[in-house]
Chains A and B, each alone.
Chain A
Amino acid sequence: MNMLTRNNRLQIAKRGFKDLVGAMLRKPWIWAYLAAGITYLATLLVVSIGGGAWALLYAALTFASFAVIVGVGQMFVITLGPGNVDLSIPATMTLAGTLALKFMETDGALVLPGLLIALGVGLACGLFNFSLILLLRIPPIIATLSSSFLFQSLAIWSNRGLRIKPPQILADFTTGGTFGIPNAALVALLVSILAWFVLEKAIVGRWISAAGQNSRAARLGGVPVNAVRFGVYLSCAVLAGFTGFMLANFSGGANLNMGAEYMLMSIAVVVIGGSSIAGGNSNVPGIWAAALFMFLIVSMLNSYGFGAGVRLILTGMIIVSVVALASKRGHKI
């Protein structure tokens, strides 16, 4: 009797564990988390100082958060289906960061208007992008690439590459932490929870996925496809503007080339995170894993003292294998 229940319980527990593992393996983002975890542990092997494990995680969380915020925006755009991608993210970041910091001129009282300017710049950039795409019917890749020339030029024109310091209060906030967690990561967490809610729980999220899977079917099914695209491109640009604002405050000033690495980074975190590059299927948790992974992989290879050539080759190979694994085990298209 006693044995029987225990066996039963054991079996149930076993099955539950198996189911759990099975369910986890079916999640497209699990591979990115595994990769990030392994990279983290591998880096720890050479960490020599006490408290280094937490220091590394802290740094990873801090720097991943910028990639997460732009990645979320890019994810929504990529979800819209083949050919949809926003290449103007770096230029939007630069322009928003530059104009906001120029306006604040290190005055702590102007933080809120400064933030609004950054968001407003993002909004304007998004509007411009979308008007090119919808009104002039230019393919998004070309439209966003050409508008990024304009945004970048405006940034150069407005400030000639001069680095203006952020207000002290903002610099302290972005570089500081609350309860031992970096503030930047908390902000990114807030953004991703919001994005997760929109994508998974709100009707808009269904619309975005539907438009990405088959825009004609979605239109016939009563989805306001153009309104959805409008909202997605706008929010992507606003998130980019916001990231530019955060990053400029974090790194002690807006740079003309500060967004440069986020062009590929924003796309990479979406793909490594297990979202379908063909659109129509996305997830938010994967972006976090991918962003952490992208930071940790560089840290790991740096810590092991590999030269630049080896480092780049290994980075490329590891990313390819993670994407290959994720797309094989993940969802079927």
Chain B
Amino acid sequence: MWMCDPAILMRRVLFTVLLLWPKIAFLKNKTILSPFKGDKIETKQDVALSRQGGKMKLKTMLLGMIAGTAFVASGHAMADTSDKRIALSNNYAGNSWRQAMLESWEKVTSEAVSNGTVAAADAFTTSENQATEQAAQIQNMILQGYDAIVVNAASPTAINGAVKEACDAGIIVVSFDGIVTEPCAWRIAVDFRQMGRDQVKYLENRHPDGGNLLEIRGLAGVFVDDEISAGIHEEVARTNFKIVGSVHGDWAQDVAQKAVAGILPSLPDITAVVTQGGDGYGAAQAIHAANRPTPTIIMGNRQDELQWWSEQKAANGYETTSLSIAPGVSTLAFWVAQQILDGSDVAKDLTVPFLRVDQDTLEEILAQTPAGSVANQEYSLDDAKNLIKSTN
């Protein structure tokens, strides 16, 4: 575990050192500098740019040579991707889902690189979850000459400019999970609305008479949150259920726990809790602390949620369901990018399936999920091919 992802760490250490550079220089030179001299952003970009400038010349030469060979070798029916370089532009790494996503990427792509399917598949994560920073990161990737960029975007629209630049430079851009609206990019989207509908459909089967629902939403103002919630409300309108309370849990157990504890005193008895993932265990704890009977809480595939569920199941036959997207969707995006580079005709909009855990599959999936992580599934080249075929 300790050897995991030194790339992010190095980036941050480098960033910090750059930030502190004027001061370190100050110690060395013993000259007086104002603390703000050598603005951090300027320094960072200058260094990055000058470095890239040097690299670029070599790279263009190399690329020219490679392009030449590829042209000569293109007598084959399929273009070869063994010289192609793919980059992952990721906007956030601060939760278990994103960590599992990066881990899956690492696992699948390192294999693809070592057996020569692609030349490189490097993952980059911005240090702060900001669209401007990610746009700059994508511009760097363009300069670095990647052939394809796989992106989990901080915003569906804010990095469109950078994505367009990449497309114009002839780079394939595949967005997943956090998709971009720029038409030139591919989208591997999740039908979040369906995720909301499916939850209510399951509950309808469990509680045909309906009842009171508590809704835990995600992060206010984020597209995903609006979509899942819209799906839930759409479906609830059709049934006997009634949403009696709604809180924002920010997809985090501790925030959800706090929000639910705050609203519980004002709520009547609740039959079920609809969630968005990462918040079910927190809700269970808050409800337990308030000495209320445990409602049917829809889970979001986190290991602690599944663990809690299996404990309840063993103790009193508790039943629920759990659904979320597998973090391994990053690997699906990787294979789709590879297929596009390979010359396949791929529709611009693809949809990934959910990973669902049911009463019967609970033990099996729980056993495969590392403690504290998220239920995961890595995708293979064949999965990508099937997905592409199904939409064409």
A56 to B15, CA, bound (A): 44
Taking a contact as CB atoms under 8 Å apart, the answer to whether A138 and B35 are in contact is: yes
Count the B residues whose beta carbon is within 8 Å of the partner chain — how many?
65
Of residues 4 through 45 on chain B, the ones whose CB sits less than 8 Å from some CB of chain A are 4-6, 8-9, 12-13, 15-16, 19-20, 23-24, 26-27, 35-36
What are the residues of chain B within 8 A of A308 when measuring CB–CB? 217, 220-221, 248
- Render A240-282 as a binary contact track against B, CB cut-off 8 A, 1 for contact: 0000000100111101111011000000000000000000000
Taking a contact as CB atoms under 8 Å apart, the answer to whether B370 and A162 are in contact is: yes
What are the residues of chain B within 8 A of A251 when measuring CB–CB? 253-254, 257, 282, 285
B258 within 8 A of A: yes
A332 within 8 A of B: no
Residue of B at shortest CB range from A295? Answer: B262
What are the residues of chain B within 8 A of A162 when measuring CB–CB? 96, 99, 370-373
A210 to B259, CA, bound (A): 40
Kindly provide the distance from the CB of B81 to the nearest chain A CB, expressed in whole angstroms: 29
What are the residues of chain A within 8 A of B16 when measuring CB–CB? 146-147, 149-150
Chain-A contact segment, one of B263-271, B318-326, B355-363, B378-386:
B263-271
With most chain B CB atoms within 10 A of its CB, the pick from A146, A161, A295 is: A161
B100 within 8 A of A: yes
A137 to B8, CA, bound (A): 27
Residue of B at shortest CB range from A171? Answer: B285
What are the residues of chain B within 8 A of A256 when measuring CB–CB? 93-96, 99
Given A253-B304, A258-B252, A305-B245, answer yes or no on A161-B96 (Cβ-Cβ < 8 Å). Answer: yes
Chain-B contact segment, one of A46-54, A72-80, A191-199:
A46-54
Taking a contact as CB atoms under 8 Å apart, the answer to whether A55 and B290 are in contact is: yes
Taking a contact as CB atoms under 8 Å apart, the answer to whether A303 and B245 are in contact is: yes
Count the A residues whose beta carbon is within 8 Å of the partner chain — how many?
59
Taking a contact as CB atoms under 8 Å apart, the answer to whether A55 and B264 are in contact is: yes
Given A47-B265, A160-B103, A302-B247, answer yes or no on A255-B253 (Cβ-Cβ < 8 Å). Answer: yes
Kindly provide the distance from the CB of B242 to the nearest chain A CB, expressed in whole angstroms: 12
Residue of A at shortest CB range from B19? Answer: A146
What are the residues of chain A within 8 A of B100 when measuring CB–CB? 161
- Render B293-316 as a binary contact track against A, CB cut-off 8 A, 1 for contact: 000000000111000000000000
Of residues 203 through 217 on chain A, the ones whose CB sits less than 8 Å from some CB of chain B are none
Taking a contact as CB atoms under 8 Å apart, the answer to whether A160 and B9 are in contact is: no
A242 to B265, CA, bound (A): 29
A247 to B96, CA, bound (A): 17
Given A256-B94, A312-B220, answer yes or no on A47-B266 (Cβ-Cβ < 8 Å). Answer: yes
B73 within 8 A of A: no
A157 within 8 A of B: yes
Taking a contact as CB atoms under 8 Å apart, the answer to whether A142 and B8 are in contact is: no
Taking a contact as CB atoms under 8 Å apart, the answer to whether A59 and B261 are in contact is: yes
Q: Nearest 9 pairs between A and B by C-beta?
A: A299-B262, A162-B372, A161-B99, A163-B372, A308-B220, A303-B266, A251-B254, A52-B265, A136-B23
Interface of B toward A, CB cutoff 8 Å: 1-2, 4-6, 8-9, 12-13, 15-16, 19-20, 23-24, 26-27, 35-36, 93-100, 103, 127, 217, 220-221, 245-248, 250, 252-255, 257-259, 261-268, 281-282, 285-286, 289-290, 302-304, 370-373
A sample of 24 cross-chain residue pairs with beta-carbon separation below 8 angstroms, ordered by A number, consists of A52-B266, A55-B264, A56-B262, A59-B264, A59-B265, A59-B286, A137-B23, A146-B20, A156-B9, A157-B2, A157-B4, A157-B8, A158-B1, A158-B2, A159-B372, A160-B103, A161-B99, A161-B372, A251-B282, A255-B253, A256-B96, A260-B252, A295-B258, A311-B220
Extra contacts, 20 of them, besides A138-B23, A146-B16, A175-B285 (Cβ < 8 A), are A49-B265, A59-B290, A63-B262, A136-B24, A139-B36, A149-B127, A153-B8, A154-B9, A157-B5, A159-B372, A160-B5, A160-B99, A161-B373, A162-B371, A163-B302, A256-B99, A302-B246, A302-B259, A303-B262, A311-B220
